[in-house]
Amino acid sequence: MTEILVIDDDKGILELIRRALEREGYRVTLQEDPLAIDYEKLAGYQLILLDVMMPGMDGFDLCRKIRGKVDCPILFITAKTEESALMEGFGVGGDDYIKKPFGIGELRARVGAHLRREQREKRHMLTLGEVQFSLQEKRLFYQEREILLTKSEYAICEYLALNRGQVFSKERILEHVFGFEGESDESAITEHVKNIRAKFRRFGFDPVETVWGIGYRWKSKEEK
């Protein structure tokens, strides 16, 4: 299910947006306080709606702070329509604006349009609980300590993490890591996963779950 985060200090607007988007089948998380954002959960959202004028931290500053951690669309909700404000918003990493007051139809249309065309590749950091991927450098960290992985081991972890919650067969993982023309077979995936688990267990955490008869998936530390 598509996850959307809405950040606005106005409870009325939050509820209006929640009702409108939940009717479209989205799962909506509301946040009134920009200073209370759970940064570890940001990577789980496919779109963020962000008010500009908020106490404690305005939307531009918050966008600037989180843009390096997420690649999903960030849409500002604002009554500020001056060109300078719009340019500032785009400059800090915003993707679009929804101007107040807005209609429910416009809200749904803009959100839907961004989600449909959101096919950009992840570029920066991916944080899942205490695990962090440096997607540019192809490095993986647990509790800020690097876990040294081979290129193939990292590729498997990144693939499962970016598609967390989904189960992938060994054949599917093999095709992703080595390509259709690769000479390795599915037993290579089994050995790579074995090595990945051994490295993570040194830190008391095993994120790769075997789904018997199907394949593997990425499991967060909170899952039992």
The domain ranges of the chain are 3-117, 125-218
- Is residue 221 very low, low, confident or very high in pLDDT (cuts 50, 70, 90)? low
Overall average pLDDT of the 140-155 stretch: 90
The whole-chain average pLDDT of the chain stands at 85
Overall average pLDDT of the 176-202 stretch: 79
Q: Given a cut of 90, is residue 69 above it in pLDDT?
A: no
Q: Which CATH superfamily is domain 3-117 in?
A: Response regulator (3.40.50.2300)
- How does DSSP classify residue 72? S
Q: What is the pLDDT of residue 220?
A: 61
Any idea how long the chain is? 224
- Of residues 33 and 179, more confidence is placed in 33
- Is residue 73 very low, low, confident or very high in pLDDT (cuts 50, 70, 90)? confident
Please name the helix (run of DSSP H) or strand (run of DSSP E) that holds residue 90, with its range, or none.
helix 83-91
Q: Given a cut of 80, is residue 199 above it in pLDDT?
A: yes
Residue 20, amino acid: A
- Is residue 86 very low, low, confident or very high in pLDDT (cuts 50, 70, 90)? confident
Measure CA of the first residue to CA of the last residue in the chain; give whole Å: 21
Q: What is the pLDDT of residue 165?
A: 80
* Strand pairing category for 47-51 and 3-7: parallel
Q: Does the structural domain 125-218 have CATH classification 1.10.10.10?
A: yes
> What whole-number percentage of the chain has pLDDT above 70?
89
Q: What is the pLDDT of residue 56?
A: 86
* Strand pairing category for 96-99 and 74-78: parallel
pLDDT tens sequence across 162-171:
888 889 999 8
Block residue for tokens 């690097």? 146
Q: Whole-prediction pTM value?
A: 0.55
**What are all long-range contacts of 35-40, with beta carbons under 8 Å and residues at least 24 apart?**
37/7, 37/62, 37/66, 39/66, 39/69, 39/127, 40/127, 40/128, 40/129, 40/130
d(CA 220, CA 105): 36
Q: What is the pLDDT of residue 50?
A: 93
